[in-house]
Structure 1
């Protein structure tokens, strides 16, 4: 179920999937996450956009047999959006739990994507859940909800993007075990692109090679480098019959920049990669 409104967060409550989400382990992160879960430790995933952080959480929720509640954070995200609020209905005013409260009560994994996009006064509500107390005080009702067995708090953010805009307070950062994510090594990334994009190995390898060349343009002013997600999008277009260069322009080049000089440089790299 996906819920979104101008007053609340984008929330996704995932049922426990019987099929494993596709994920290739890179550096022992699966065992480390499992131990964090068993030891009731909150987890912070750091890494560039589209490098697999969300897929990793989905995979771990499946592996641990936990329901996953995903919240996409934004500037207008309030404490009430997370915890809950009183709403007027046909039978009068009643309290409605927010997604964070539901996850705490049910023992789900609660994943806050791009947590630093939320206001600092909102992030503070996570503090008693991310240490030994594992509880959520609800000021409006006077209730204190103790986290059910299996509850785990997971947050993610892109430190490269946020460094110039926002960052997480040290008092919040030190409540989490941090996992450093990056784009997979070329062979693994090619395997991911081939599987998720539905193309053969040669096309996937060429797309990953292009992606790595484009990532070197960061030093020339490219704010965001192409993610694995963009490479997969290009692969899916190619797999559907779209010409390779057209697919790369639409799925990779155009989303990355509106700057004519950068667009020209990226188009040249696409042309050189698919002669």
Structure 2
């Protein structure tokens, strides 16, 4: 076990280790599909390196960030990126309030400022959905300086010692753009693949402990077929999303499997041919 992780945290980590299929079931519910991935990411966080999680939608990036937050008992502030994200969304904004009978201007701190001051985790979801001109304001936060001069107040903020940054991206999706090199170079990057095999079965059984084994096997088989078609380039990556599979599983405990997959997986895709292919695959398993 690496000495970079404090002893008490290493002991907690050791209690979560499961040698079966080398899977790691973390306190926040994340299951690591790759040996050493979980601890390697923890070491990056302990070293105060901004961490970038790269992977398809539904691969568990947000669940991983939540698990890190629970592991360190460190609150997490989330930023959901979009083309509308601006400096105020990140840093905060000024507002007029009445205080002791007087009208005053007060600054309401945003997630970046709060996380920096309190020593919390800042989670930036879908960072490549933001406009490239918005994010350079974070450059000094993400590099060795770990500081920020708030343009709205003039305050110079030095990050708390425990402050950490985790970002996530879905590469190649509609509405995303490549991260510029100056931003990308401030992160250490980890690829987060989909779960498969016994690890996927573990998370299904953990979330649906009373589910019939035949239903679990059926959903596993359908998911395996979907992943094969994704690999063949016939389906978009989100067709094999673990999140979507779990949604389908939840529905399938109450309605026929075919309709559950249609609502939770097929209907999420825009391409009618891909929707049709998914339902044809389901029909090979559902008689």
* Same fold per superposition (TM over 0.5): yes
Question: Does 1:57 pair with 2:69?
Answer: no
Cα deviation for residue 211 of structure 1 reads 1.9
Question: Does 1:21 pair with 2:28?
Answer: yes
Asked if the contact 1:83/1:101 (under 8 Å) is kept, the reply is yes
Asked if the contact 1:129/1:153 (under 8 Å) is kept, the reply is no
Asked if the contact 1:48/1:160 (under 8 Å) is kept, the reply is no
Asked if the contact 1:44/1:179 (under 8 Å) is kept, the reply is yes
Counterpart pick for 1:203 among 200, 215, 226: 215
Cα deviation for residue 269 of structure 1 reads 0.7
Alpha-carbon separation, structure 2, partners of 1:64 and 1:123: 27
Asked if the contact 2:56/2:237 (under 8 Å) is kept, the reply is no
Matched residue SS, 2:108: strand
- Alpha-carbon distance change, 235 to 223 in structure 1, aligned in 2, over 3 angstroms: closer
Cα deviation for residue 197 of structure 1 reads 4.1
1:3 counterpart residue number: none
- Alpha-carbon distance change, 185 to 223 in structure 1, aligned in 2, over 3 angstroms: closer
Tell me how many residue pairs correspond in the alignment: 254
Alpha-carbon separation, structure 1, partners of 2:214 and 2:158: 52
2:92 counterpart residue number: 84
Question: Does 1:153 pair with 2:165?
Answer: yes
**Structure 1 runs, 4 residues or longer, greater than 3 Å off:** 215-218, 221-224
- Which has more radius of gyration? 2
What is the CA RMSD across the aligned residues, in angstroms?
Answer: 1.9
Question: Does 1:115 pair with 2:122?
Answer: no
Question: Does 1:255 pair with 2:268?
Answer: yes
Question: Does 1:143 pair with 2:127?
Answer: no
2:48 counterpart residue number: 40
Which blocks of at least 5 consecutive residues in structure 1 are unaligned?
1-18
- Alpha-carbon distance change, 201 to 128 in structure 1, aligned in 2, over 3 angstroms: farther
1:16 counterpart residue number: none
Cα deviation for residue 221 of structure 1 reads 5.5
Which blocks of at least 5 consecutive residues in structure 2 are unaligned?
1-25
2:186 counterpart residue number: 175
